[in-house]
Amino acid sequence: DAKTTQPPSMDCAEGRAANLPCNHSTISGNEYVYWYRQIHSQGPQYIIHGLKNNETNEMASLIITEDRKSSTLILPHATLRDTAVYYCIVRAPNSNSGYALNFGKGTSLLVTP
């Protein structure tokens, strides 16, 4: 599975959009981009995933660049409850590592009042 690079930490003012970047420059054509978040030592929670088209759901939007080498998770109106560690994962449906899900260190997002 392709390796991802995320900034270790970011700040965002409450009510503003939080834009979390992820670099996955070695991504392969069949690899999906997934985002999870972990709030204060709880179990991680799925947010969104995509292959090449932009995706939106009730939690967030995922913007994937045309060359697919990077993506951005957008929380359109961040709230204090969005303070969490956000993980970007890239994995293929038929990866040689089987069905392993490998998390990096993620981005610690702090939403401030």
Partner 1 sequence: NAGVTQTPKFQVLKTGQSMTLQCAQDMNHNSMYWYRQDPGMGLRLIYYSASEGTTDKGEVPNGYNVSRLNKREFSLRLESAAPSQTSVYFCASLRVRNTEAFFGQGTRLTVV
Residue ranges that bind partner 1, judged by CB under 8 A:
32, 34, 36, 41-46, 49, 85, 87, 93-94, 98-106
What is the distance of C-alpha 3 from the center of its chain? 13
* Closer CB to partner 1, 43 or 113, in the complex: 43
- As measured in angstroms, the least distance from the Cβ of 33 to partner 1 is 11
Alpha-carbon gap, residue 7 to 22, rounded angstroms: 8
* Closer CB to partner 1, 14 or 32, in the complex: 32
56, HSE (Cβ side, Cα atoms, 13 Å)? 2
Alpha-carbon gap, residue 4 to 40, rounded angstroms: 22
- As measured in angstroms, the least distance from the Cβ of 11 to partner 1 is 18
- As measured in angstroms, the least distance from the Cβ of 109 to partner 1 is 14
